Amino acid sequence: MKAANGTLATGPARARGDEDASADTGSHLTRSDRANLLRYMAMMRFAEERALVLYRQGKVPGSFYDGRGQEAIPVGSAYALGPRDRTCILHRDLGAHFVRGVTPERYLANYMGRSGGVTGGKDGNMHFGDPRLGSVGMVSMLPDMALVATGMALAFKLRGEPRVALTYFGEGATANGQWHEAMNFAGIHRLPVVFILENNRFAYSTPNELEFAVDPVERARTYGFPGVAVDGNDVEAVFERTREAVERARSGGGPTLIECHTMRMHGHGAHDDMSYVPAELLEEWERRDPIERYKARLVQDFGFEPAEVEEILGEVRAYVDECAERALASPMPPPEAALEGVFAREWEPLGDGHAPWSRWREAA
């Protein structure tokens, strides 16, 4: 399952050797891409489940946040990126980190403050990015990463580079002024940026009906670029909309706002009992679970055997367990490390992220 370079080994689905994307006409995904989409979603689910247990065991200091039920969004969108594209990944988007090459071991070590964590133990939870994998660590102020992504896109445009910046934010964050500034600037300059809006129905305890009078996707038009809505629990739909937006951005067509409809299936953080969420709403969205839906679809529509799907999930679970054991066995950082890397001594360019989509493997 694991690979030496930290990439997700493509495992048995690939070994079975059907690489023919044209088998289902019009699709941009091969059979092993589809297996990968399931793998990365399951990796996010299992890694977050494991992290929550570690939090309850007192091994995770501070707080704990996850993106349960939203896995299709970070996975489907990040899967559409090329290696030289850049990301600003937020607090519900662990799957995007995994697609780009962060391992569950480094994620779990991060939450436990270990030296092998992505920030080397400097941040206890999800405020991280791996610059070597082309992702800029998130700042907590929402939605400021929309401005960072817009700035990166401006740099790509000024340098004439065919590259795209992609960022995430929740629907609650669209109420802040910085969101307007990012959209407006990106629209004026037709910047190569993709904005992924995750509408999970709540911003902490505030429901959609108290967040906006007009759905934020409608606003894109007024900034001069398209806004598209998509079922955020359908990983292939998210991939397709993002793929189109990335192509558009890369070819000079400017930004796109993609609103992914989903539901936050856990509290805002582990401290939140979400008593304000009606039980029926959770039941309704449980039936739309992105992983269960995709498992069924792989069997019904794409010729996977049920046993093959279970085998993939079993491999991912074993891999995450192995990563957890290694993270637990890893050391805390020495105290003096707290002073290292706080300020940049020299400018270091961002590295490239992993791009597991078969299109990029073929191009390589």
Ligand X SMILES: Cc1ncc(C[n+]2csc(CCOP(=O)(O)OP(=O)(O)O)c2C)c(N)n1
Instruction: State the residue number with the nearest CB to Mg ion.
Output: 170
The region of 138-146, 159-167, 307-315, 333-341 touching ligand X under the rule CB under 6 A is 138-146
Residue from 66, 93, 171, 244 that binds ligand X (CB under 6 A)?
A: 171
Residues 86, 250 contacting (CB under 8 angstroms) = no
- What dihedral do alpha carbons 240, 242, 246, 248 form, nearest 10°? 70
Q: Which of residues 182-211 bind Mg ion (CB under 5 A)?
A: 200, 203
- Name which of 128 and 202 has its Cβ closer to ligand X: 202
Distance between first and last Cα of the chain: 22
DSSP per position, 156-210: HHHHT----EEEEEETGGGGSHHHHHHHHHHHHTT-SEEEEEEE-SEETTEEGGG
**Counting Cβ atoms within 10 Å, is residue 159 exposed (0-12), middle (13-18) or buried (19+)?**
exposed
Closest CA to 106 of 121, 93, 89: 121
- Name which of 157 and 264 has its Cβ closer to ligand X: 264
The type of residue at 61 is: P
Binding of ligand X at residue 281 (CB under 6 A)?
no
Residues 165, 153 contacting (CB under 8 angstroms) = yes
Shortest distance (Å) from residue 354 CB to ligand X: 24
Residue from 156, 202, 285, 294 that binds ligand X (CB under 6 A)?
A: 202
Task: Give the β-pairing of 256-261 and 227-231.
Answer: parallel
Shortest distance (Å) from residue 255 CB to Mg ion: 21
Tokens of 329: 């066995």
Shortest distance (Å) from residue 265 CB to ligand X: 11
- The overall longest dimension of the chain from CA atoms, in Å, is 57
The region of 13-21, 181-189, 201-209, 230-238 touching ligand X under the rule CB under 6 A is 201-209
- Name which of 69 and 116 has its Cβ closer to Mg ion: 69
> How many angstroms separate the CA atoms of 65 and 88, rounded?
17
Instruction: State the residue number with the nearest CB to ligand X.
Output: 170
> How many angstroms separate the CA atoms of 169 and 259, rounded?
10
> How many angstroms separate the CA atoms of 252 and 169, rounded?
23
Residue from 53, 141, 296, 338 that binds ligand X (CB under 6 A)?
A: 141
Residues 107, 47 contacting (CB under 8 angstroms) = yes
Binding of Mg ion at residue 232 (CB under 5 A)?
no
Binding of ligand X at residue 172 (CB under 6 A)?
yes
21 binds, among ligand X, Mg ion, none (CB under 5 to 8 A by kind): none
Residue from 45, 86, 92, 163 that binds ligand X (CB under 6 A)?
A: 92
- Name which of 101 and 170 has its Cβ closer to ligand X: 170
Taking the CA atoms of the chain, what radius of gyration do you get in angstroms? 20
- Name which of 171 and 234 has its Cβ closer to ligand X: 171
**Counting Cβ atoms within 10 Å, is residue 219 exposed (0-12), middle (13-18) or buried (19+)?**
middle
- Name which of 55 and 169 has its Cβ closer to ligand X: 169
- Residue 278 DSSP one-character state: -
Total binding residues for ligand X by CB under 6 A? 17
The type of residue at 204 is: Y
Strand, helix or coil for residue 141 = coil
- Name which of 30 and 167 has its Cβ closer to Mg ion: 167
Q: Which of residues 297-336 bind Mg ion (CB under 5 A)?
A: none
The region of 20-28, 41-49, 126-134, 172-180 touching ligand X under the rule CB under 6 A is 172-180
Where does this chain bind ligand X (CB under 6 A)? 92, 140-142, 169-173, 176, 198, 200, 202-204, 264, 268
Catalog residues that contact Mg ion under the rule CB under 5 A. Answer: 170-172, 200, 203
